[in-house]
Structure formats: C-alpha cells, structure tokens
Amino acid sequence: MLRLLRLATILVVVFRFGLDEFALGHERVRWLRPVLRAALFWRRLDRPRGERLRRALEDLGPIFVKFGQLLSTRRDLIPLDIADELARLQDRVPPFPAEQALAVIERTYGKPVDQVFAQFEREAVASASVAQVHFATLPDGREVAVKILRPGIERVIGRDMELLEVAASLMEMVWKDGKRLRPKEVIAEFRNHLRDELDLMREAANGSQLRRNFRNSTLLVVPEIYWDWCAQEVMVMERMVGTPISRVSALREQGIDIPKLSRMGVEIFFTQVFRDGFFHADMHPGNVFVRADGRYIALDFGIMGTLTDVDKNYLAQNFLAFFRRDYRRVAQAHLDAGWVPPETRVDEFESAIRAVCEPIFDKPLKEISFGRVLLRLFQTARRFNLEVQPQLVLLQKTLLNIEGLGRDLDPDLDLWKTAKPFLERWMAEQVGWRGLMRNIREEAPQWGIMLPQLPRLVHRTLQNPRPNKLEQALERLARDQRQQSQLLVVIIAALASLIVLVVMLAGRH
C-alpha cells in the first residue's frame, strides 16, 4: 500500500511539472499525447524542461536528488541542457527535529544525551539526505562533531530504489542505447554506495584510515575519530574549525595563498590515488574546509575508493600518456584491456581521442568547458562501442559538481604542468632502482617461507597433473587484468573533469 501511495505521489509531481513530455516523446506512446493534453488543459508550463525536472526531483526527496546528481554525469544518456540543470542539484534537506536526534542517541547509548555528552547543541549545524551533524562536548572537555543517521532513511531508500529499478528496466526497453548504457547496473551501483552511507561505523573506519595516511601532513588535516562513542547510527569525531573552500573571498581576506592552495590540491589528490590507493569518491565543496594555517580539512568519509598496485601503475602510465599527448599509447591500452572490440582500428581510435582532448591542452581552467568535453567523450565512446562503467558514475558526478568551484579557486592554474611532475616522480620511484629495492624488502619475508616449500609443491604438481589448470589460470589472469583496469575509463570518459578534481580535492578517499 505504501509503495502504491509513493508511486501516486511521484505521478502527481510528474504531471505537475510537465515531465510527461519526456515519456510522450517516444513513438510507442505517441497516441497518448492528445489524451493527456486534454486532461491537463489547466496546466501552464512556462519554464525550461531542465529546470522543471530539477525542481521535481527536489520535491520528490533526497534519494531522487542524489540520483539526479548521478544522472547529470550521463551526458551520453540525456541532453546537455538537462545535464547542466541537474548538475545544480544540491544535497541539502531540512534537518530532522532535535527530539528525533536525541531519541537516536538514547537508543544507541542506552542513556539520555546529558549522560553521554557534557553539552549537546540541539540545533544541527549541517543536514543532508542521509544524516545531520550536531556540535557537542565530551565529558573530558573535548569538542566534537556528532553525525546522526536520519531516522527511517533506510526504509525510504529501499522504497525509492525499487521504483528507480523499475524505471531502469523501462529505460532499457524503450531507449535505443539502453542496454549499452546499462541503467540497471548504474542503479545497482547507486544502491551499493547508499548502503555504505547508512553504516556510520564504516564511515568512521574510512576517516580513521585517511587520518593515518596523512598523519603529520603539511597539506591535509583529518579529524580524529572517537571510537568509544561511535556506532552504526552515530559517529563522533574531532570538531574542526575552518572556512568552506567555496568562500574564496573569505580565504583571500585571511591571507590564504589561493594559487598555492590549488597546487596543494593537486598533490593531495595524486598522493591519495597513487601513494595510498585510497581516495574520496564523493567529493563536493561542502566536504572541503581550509584551516587558518592554509591546510585543507577533510570531512565526510561515507564513500571512498580503493586501487590495487596494478590499478595505480596502469592509471599513472595512461595519465602520463595524456599529458605527453601520446594518444596512440592510450588507444592501444584500451584495445589490449578489451575495453573496445578487437576489430577496432587503433589509428581511428587514436584520432578520435586526439580530436576531443587536444583542444583543451595549453588552456587555463577558465577557458575549458568540461561539460562539453564530457559530451564529446561520451559520443566517442558510443562510436567505438566503449561500454560505460557504472562504478565511475559517482566519481563523474563529483567532478562536475566542483567544476565551477575549481574555476573560482584558481582559473589560471596550468593543470598539466602541475600534475605531470608528480606523476613522473611517482613512476620513477615505481620502476626505478628505488622501487626494485622496496619490492625486495616487502617480498623477502614471503620468499623465506615459500622457497623451502617449492620442491614439495613441484613434486605434488607432477604427481597429480591436471591438464586444464593452465587454461583456467590463464583465463583467471585475463579476467583479473580486465577488472584491474576498470578505472582506466576515467581517462577516456572523464579526463578533463578528473583534472578539475586534481585542482581542489582535499583529502577525499
């Protein structure tokens, strides 16, 4: 019954904002147009369709807002005017009542809030679709930020996700490119990330790992997690004081060197990706603050990404290929990884990549429209039957969200010259003698265990030959290689936008 009521609510919003025109544009339902026009004769639609869609999603609630943000990255799936409008969606919702927050705390700790904290501010300082934050003081006097999960949010997410899954199935049925764009897999990936956000213990662990990675850093500060006060619905961390990075004028008034801040963002991002293989995957301006001493402050660790050593090496080599404008090397790497059909001509793929990326080199950030670059990249992907990877959609959402802020931060930043030396230095450390010595040190203990067992293992293999094992191993190796290179599509499908993230990413894993 509740599901039917929710569906009815969605239909009312759809008709109120005139979203039926999106469905009625398909030939299969053309016959419905005169019927609906007659029934909705009273309706006046005087705003652009993209704005109407954005306002409808905001009315439908937080999950639809998040999905609209995600959809804004699929410029191969939706028109550019709609994608630009959806990119304006903000994950800001009114806070839930303080009484509900206190009830969650009492249920979590088994005692009233006044027996848990020396002081607890009833008014939330930040509120989003999944949780909100209150300031408090621990019994020992430490000032903390308390993140509390929104009551009933899991039920709301489950209900709306079921409706989105139905919509994805319909999309595959009526859209020409539906199966190639894999909307059902996109929805599944979206559900997985939302599920992670619903466990604040997982977020606390992510924050703790990030803090450990940047301990004593001159670039980034990460709040300490207070584990004794953390649970699935409540997370308590050190209270951080800083200025939101979106307030560029205030940062200048404080004497912050903005160009230096931009360069620091480049180093933070590449350090996370290539040194740690652990990076923030839900980056937006609300998660980035700047301390008075000029260091970044990282907040919100709900969605993080990880990379294997093979991933890092593969990404670094392809980044360098782009920075050096070696498009043939990039095209060949995609062919070798199986991202494009084996009959694809490398020279044609190389030429297509060059046509998209060459115009943006040697330009400052303010002269690059990453939305349009993404559109052309998606068109290239469609031409060469390059499958869109659902696991990258949230990253692309983040890249587009911070595009405007990146321009405000330092529009004259030379992205290529800033990033290239870091990657070249990292690659030299990986493939040079330093990398060799480090690998030997790391692997030597394992050699001491494995070498004495080697004769026995060889003898056992010869005594029990299994002809199919080699083929199976080769198949597994090929499959693993394909999986390990999944993030490479970022280079093709979102290179330009990824560089924006480089400008200002502040400790996001």
- Residue 271 neighbours by CB under 8 Å, 6+ apart: 219
- Residue 286 neighbours by CB under 8 Å, 6+ apart: 91, 126, 244, 246, 300
**Which residue, 285, 244, 280, 269, is CA-closest to 91?**
285
Angle at 413 between CA 402 and CA 508, to 5 degrees: 40
The single residue listed with the structure tokens 């398909």 is: 26
Classify 74 as helix, strand or coil. coil
Cα distances from 499 to residues 69, 90, 93, in angstroms, run 19, 22, 30
Backbone angles phi, psi at 233, to 5 degrees: -105, -10
CA pair distance 413, 222, nearest whole angstrom: 26
Q: DSSP characters for 269-333? A: HHIIIIIISEEESS--GGGEEE-TTS-EEE---SSEEE--HHHHHHHHHHHHHHHTT-HHHHHHH
Which residues partner with 220 through β-bridges?
296
- Catalytically active residues, by annotation: 282
- Residue 352 neighbours by CB under 8 Å, 6+ apart: 380, 383, 384
CA pair distance 266, 296, nearest whole angstrom: 12
Cβ-based burial of 106 (10 A; exposed 0-12, middle 13-18, buried ≥19)? middle
- Please provide the distance, in angstroms rounded to a whole number, between the alpha carbons at the two ends of the chain: 40
Please tell me the chain's helix, strand, coil percentages from 3-state DSSP, rounded to the nearest 5. 65, 10, 30
- Residue 6 neighbours by CB under 8 Å, 6+ apart: 159, 160, 163
Amino acid at 46: D
CA pair distance 311, 307, nearest whole angstrom: 6
